[in-house]
Every structure is written in structure tokens, then in C-alpha cells.
Amino acid sequence: MSKTNEIPAYKNPELTIDERVDDLVSRMTLEEKISQMLYSSSAIGRLDVHEYNWWNECLHGVARAGTATVFPQAIGMAATFSPERLFKVAAAIADEARAKYNAARRHEDRGIYKGLTFWTPNINIFRDPRWGRGQETYGEDPYLTSRLGVSFIKGLQGDDPQYMKAAACAKHFAVHSGPESERHEFDAIASPKDMRETYLPAFRDAVKEAKVEAVMGAYNRTNGEPCCASKTLMQDILRDEWGFEGHYVSDCGAILDFHEHHKITSGPVESAALAVNMGCDLNCGWIYEHLAEAVKQGLVSEETIDVSVKRLFRTRFKLGMFDPEDRVPFNKIPYEVNDSDEHRQLALETARESIVLLKNKDSFLPLNKDEIKTIAVIGPNADRKDVLLGNYFGLPSKYVTVLEGIQQAVNEDTRVFYAEGCALGETPESFWGNPPTTGFAEALTVAEKSDVVIMCLGLSPDFEGEEGAVAESDGGGDKVDLKLPGLQLELLQAISQLGKPIVLVLLNGSPVELNWPHDNVEAIVEAWYPGEEGGTAVADVIFGKYNPAGRLPITFVKSIDQLPPFRDYSMENRTYRYMESAPLYPFGYGLSYTSFEYSNLKVSREELSTEDNDDLLVSVEVENTGKLAGDEVVQLYIKDLEASVRVPHWQLNGVQRIHLQPGEKARVEFTLTKRQFALIDEEGKCLLEPGVFRIYVGGQQPDERSKELTGQEVLSTEIKYTGTSVEMEY
């Protein structure tokens, strides 16, 4: 074969990806290379490189790209406490992503939100309930966030030995959780201990365990360095310590912030050079258009640009974008898997598992629909579609609101009354001369005529979310307080005066104040932003078709007075791990319609050495002692009783969600590594110290408030580590 007929190395699928990438990039001009470092990458016709838009979202379903299955918002999925469930959801999302990508590509649609590089999951720690984007996360606990994040990434990227189904991106690296209104200029100050103990573990596991393909930097600075140009985060920790080999992408507009808001560079040329020199490969924004000038001025070398461009193409090659159609198995995924009945059922199952029963006075729930002739469904969230979706959502072909779910669930001869009662954020100031309780009359009327009242209150994406995307927030996306917006509490109080039993259904992405409802209504159901089948799931729980078992992934405090200042990133007095006062509803809490009994807590050894690498096996028996089948969320916590530094009260280190029939008993086993008993000292070192550790196992935290709410205690045992302190790999 003559050389003129030989295919270029980058088009030869028999070669390694690195060989192909090196060949392709060697053929490019500087301008062509730079064009690939912008999120909207240009086509290079002479090399058969198609244009590609890197920006795609799939937080809880393929987002912003038309019709797709919408699963519960991330905080709701976290409430399942089930890594297995998140893996299934992410795998389904990846199938839909491929189906939509395949279809769009056939029609030459290569625009935004149509690709395979997804800027998901958000594994920031939800350290303060005021943060508007907390709904996108997996809650406040590093261990739970890590386990769920790893599962989601693995489900999204797939396990094919040669190709990724889709590329995941862990964001926002690192120490990012508000305030939204100041994110472009804010400097989040976190101690080495808090960094390693709280803010970094989920990212570490995403990189080292899940092999996440991309990491996105945050807008803010962390300890003085902008997160998209931080030597500490991007080079020292991410690449040198953890061995990250994927690509790094800026949050959108974050590099512009260098000179516009952080004031650490003189302008766009210097900002572009700084970001690339620190290892930011892809610019969501347009500042990298100035890279040619930066090279000309000697601020960045073409060799450094080559490194970034090769990382980006490595991702595209791993996705099969340069291989023959029939070599990539995911090219065969048909469009029909998108928004399919199978995925709708998965969305329903996930929504059911996400629901947390917060209160159930005298076992008021589940309702017997054969004994109820009239139901009043009242509240501004009863029939709203947007509270099913949260933020970063796709568009399902069918929505089921709570009102519709109730209507579909009751008997044919049962009358369901509906009244909005008040608008979600309605206040006395909203009216011009009319009384602010205009809608109360209808709500009171239908409540009077009903056997039971279902109140649908909470928040909506208009009240919490990302900076610039929230209509009703005075906090730039964050909440300024934890109260139910507007007249919702007044409406609830007015209805309660009638003496009718009330089930409060909350639809929200973050905690709200529930002191009065806790004391005055029969039952409280936390439904989050539950996705396209949310109304069905809520009705299934209310009428007993499904036995709830969700757990809170974030503490519900009694009031904002229990919180440190929002801008303070110290973990002191934050989350269940360090909070000193008792919350209203603790992390890990949730009720069931049945009861579970724990017994025979055993450990494989009561004494271990810090010098050995032996794992500890922990087992416990769990029995369903009630009359209904149901799930139980078995939680394991570790408390260091002799630590040399401040450590959490206790720390979640194991979770399993199991299903038991009435009278059924199962033995649940956990394997604990010695690393799980290590602490982080004030310098950020990971140390396993000799001493005594208490292990707790049960369906909740070992705190007094959980015991008070459930009437249950957890089991505990102690083990001892002997030897000397050993520094461990983080």
C-alpha cells in the first residue's frame, strides 16, 4: 500500500488512544488547538474533526435537551441511602444520553446539551441549609456523598473495557457551597483538617475509585487561590497526589472572574495563561480566545497547550467519537429507550425510595382509602409541575403532580377537593387593597367538607437554586431564612383550626422550619423535588401501597439560630458530625410503617494493631417485627473515644438498604478498613492512632434526638487499636 493510501494514525482504532491522540494533535496549528479548548469546540474540516459542545447536564436525568426521563432531584436520590439505586439511575441516564446523542448526530445537530460529556455529579458538601444549590448534592455527609457519587459516576461511564458510555464530571472542586451571590469573588477559608475531613473525600473517591473522567473547578477562591487556577487543588492534590488523568474544566465564566472579580490578574490574556498553566484544560466561556496572544507574550507555551488539548481528545476518543460506527457498542442504543416505560418505572421506584416519613402520630398513615369518602388536597405545591423537576432538568412526556397522584389512587366514589389556598410566595405586600388571605376561604371550605386534609407546601426552584436563576430569592439563589415562604404557615394554621386530620407533604430541595407543623399535624411526608412520577410516589406512601424508608441526608435544624454564619466554612457546629444543639430532625432519620429489631452485633476482632492491614468485619441481625413488608436502612457509625484532636461526634462509615418481609430476619455485614478508623489532624495528616473506638449500628444515628423521635436505640460495641500512631495515605 502506498503512503498516500495509508490512514492517519489517529484514525486507526487498532492503535492505543495515546498514540492516536498524539498523532492528531501533532497535525494541528496553534489556532486549531486553542479552538478545541473552548466548550464550544470548532470543527477542523481538513482533519475530519467535527464541532463538539462539551456542555451537557444530567443531574437527575438528561437535562436541557428536550424530552427525557426526570428522576428525583439529587438530594432526593440521596435520601434513598442506596448506592445501588443511584447506579441504576445513572446507567439509565447514560442510555438515554447515548440514545439522544445518536439521534442528534444523525441529523447533524452537534449543539449545546447534545453531547456525551456531562457536568455531573455535584458532590459538594451541603454544609448549610441556606445554600440554594444544596438540592443538587447528596447532602451533608462526606461518606454518603462519596458512596453515592462513586456509584453515579460508575453507572454513567459504564464498564465497557474500551469505551465510556458517557463521561462524568465531579464538581465543583472544591470547598463550594455558597453564598451564591458572592461566588464570583468569595474566598472560602477552610483549615487543612476541614479540607481533608469534610470537603475533599468525595472528590478523592470520585478520582481514585470511580475514575471520573473530568473535574470542574468552582467559581470561588479556596484559601486565597481561585479554584480554576489553584496549584494546591489542581496540581498538588488532584494530579500529583490522587493521580487524576482526565481533563479539568472551568465553571462557566470562572476564568473571567480572575480579573473581573477576584482581581488576581490584569486581564483576559493573563487569566487565560494562568488557568492553562495550572492545568485547566477546557474553558466554559470565551477567555481562551486570548491564548494565542498569551503564547505570543510568552505567558504560556504551546507545549503546555498541547497537554490540555491531548487530555480533551483522549476523552473524545474514549467515547468512541473517532472510531467506525460498528465498533462502538453504544451507537446501537435506539432512541426508543429515551423516556421509556421502563425508565418511568425506575423513576417511580426511585421517588418512592426517596420519600422520608418525618412524623406519623399514632400511626395515622397509611390511610385506608376504603374508609375515606372525601379528601381535600390544598396548597400551592399540590398541582405544580416545577416542584417535580427541581433545577437542571429535562422535560418528561408525562407529569404526575401530587393532586393527580391522589386523584388516581383513591376509589372511584371518593371525592377529591382541591384548593391552592395561597400562592407559594404570597405575602401581605403582594396585594393592592385586597386581604392577603383571599384564597383561604376556598381552602377552608374544601377542608370543612373532607375527612382528611393533605397539605402540599414547601419551596420551589423559584426560591432556591443557582445565582441568577432564581426569581423569588433575596439571597441570589440562597435562602435568607428557613421559613416556609409567604403565607403557607398561616394557611396551615388556619386549616388546623378546623380540627381535621392533616398530612403535610413537603416538596422542596432543602430544609425548612417545621417546628409548628411537627407539634400540630398528624403526619409529615418529605418528598423533595420527586421527578416525573412524584405524585404517584407520594400517593403510594400515603395510602400504604409503598412503605417509606427514606432517610434525611441533611440535618433539619429547629431554626436559623442553630447555624453558624453562612460565610464561615469551618465545620465547627455544622452538620450532625459537629453540631452541639439538638436538631428538629437529625441526619439519617426516617420512619417506617413497620418496625425493625437489631440483635447480635458482632465484630471479627476486639483488638487490632495499627501496624497491621487487617480489615474488621462487623455483622448484625435485623428482623422485621411489624406487620408490613418494608425496607430498612442499616447505618454504621464510628466514634473515636480517645482522639488527640477534635473529631466528629461520630461518623457514618457504612450503609445498606435491605428489604424484609414481616417476621423475616437477615444478617447484614460490613467490612471496615483501618483507614476508616483514622483521623485527620490539624495539619491535614491522616493518622491512625491507638485507642478505643465505639461502633454503632442501627436504623438511625446514635443521638438522643433520633432515639426520642423513633423510640429506638442503636446497638454498639467497642474495639481497640494497639501500637503507635501511623500516618496513612489519604
Among 524, 554, 584, the domain-final residue is: 554
Cis peptide before 121 (omega within 30 of 0): yes
C-alpha cell at 59: 443531574
Q: Within this chain, do residues 73 and 158 fall inside the same structural domain, yes or no?
A: yes
- Single-letter code of the amino acid located at 383: D
Q: Within this chain, do residues 245 and 152 fall inside the same structural domain, yes or no?
A: yes
19: in domain: no
Q: Within this chain, do residues 371 and 420 fall inside the same structural domain, yes or no?
A: yes
Catalytic hit among 57, 180, 251, 526: 251
Q: Within this chain, do residues 84 and 195 fall inside the same structural domain, yes or no?
A: yes
578: in domain: no
Domain of residue 695, residue span:
596-727
Among 337, 364, 383, the domain-final residue is: 337
201: in domain: yes
Name the β-bridge partners of 463: none
Number of domains in the chain: 3
63/96 Cα distance (integer angstroms): 11
567: in domain: no
Q: What is the pLDDT at residue 469?
A: 85
Mean pLDDT per segment of 10 residues, for the chain of length 730 residues? 72 97 98 98 98 98 98 98 98 98 96 98 98 98 98 98 98 96 97 98 98 98 98 98 98 98 98 98 98 98 98 98 97 98 98 99 98 98 98 97 98 98 80 65 97 98 92 87 96 98 98 98 98 98 98 98 98 98 98 98 98 96 98 98 98 98 98 98 98 98 98 98 97
C-alpha cell at 566: 453562612
18: in domain: no
77/553 Cα distance (integer angstroms): 9
266: in domain: yes
Q: Within this chain, do residues 510 and 615 fall inside the same structural domain, yes or no?
A: no
Q: What is the pLDDT at residue 262?
A: 98
Cis peptide before 179 (omega within 30 of 0): yes
708 belongs to the catalytic site? no
Q: 649 and 567 in contact (C-beta within 8 Å)?
A: no
C-alpha cell at 516: 409548628
Q: 620 and 650 in contact (C-beta within 8 Å)?
A: no
251 belongs to the catalytic site? yes
Q: Within this chain, do residues 332 and 369 fall inside the same structural domain, yes or no?
A: no
Residue with cell 455535584: 122
Q: What is the pLDDT at residue 2?
A: 42
Catalytic hit among 57, 339, 464, 526: 464
C-alpha cell at 514: 417545621
The separation between CA 546 and the C-alpha centre of its own chain, rounded to angstroms, equals: 24
Q: Within this chain, do residues 96 and 147 fall inside the same structural domain, yes or no?
A: yes
Q: Within this chain, do residues 412 and 550 fall inside the same structural domain, yes or no?
A: yes
CATH of the domain at 321: 3.20.20.300
Q: What is the pLDDT at residue 6?
A: 87
678/687 Cα distance (integer angstroms): 5
Instruction: Give the CA dihedral 284, 285, 286, 288, nearest 10 degrees.
Output: -40
The dihedral built from the CA positions of residue 687, 152, 354 and 70, taken in this order, carries a sign that is: positive
Report pTM.
Answer: 0.98
Beta strands in 441-489 (DSSP E): 452-458
Q: Within this chain, do residues 428 and 518 fall inside the same structural domain, yes or no?
A: yes
Residue with cell 465498533: 327
Radius of gyration of the chain (CA): 26
Q: Within this chain, do residues 438 and 399 fall inside the same structural domain, yes or no?
A: yes
Q: Within this chain, do residues 647 and 536 fall inside the same structural domain, yes or no?
A: no
456: in domain: yes
Q: What is the pLDDT at residue 432?
A: 55
Residues whose CB is less than 8 angstroms from the CB of residue 296 and which lie 6 or more positions away in sequence, other chains included:
none
Q: Within this chain, do residues 298 and 398 fall inside the same structural domain, yes or no?
A: no
587: in domain: no
CATH of the domain at 476: 3.40.50.1700
Q: Which residues of 173-191 are buried (b: 16+ CB within 10 A; e: fewer)?
A: bbbbbbbbbbbbebbbebb
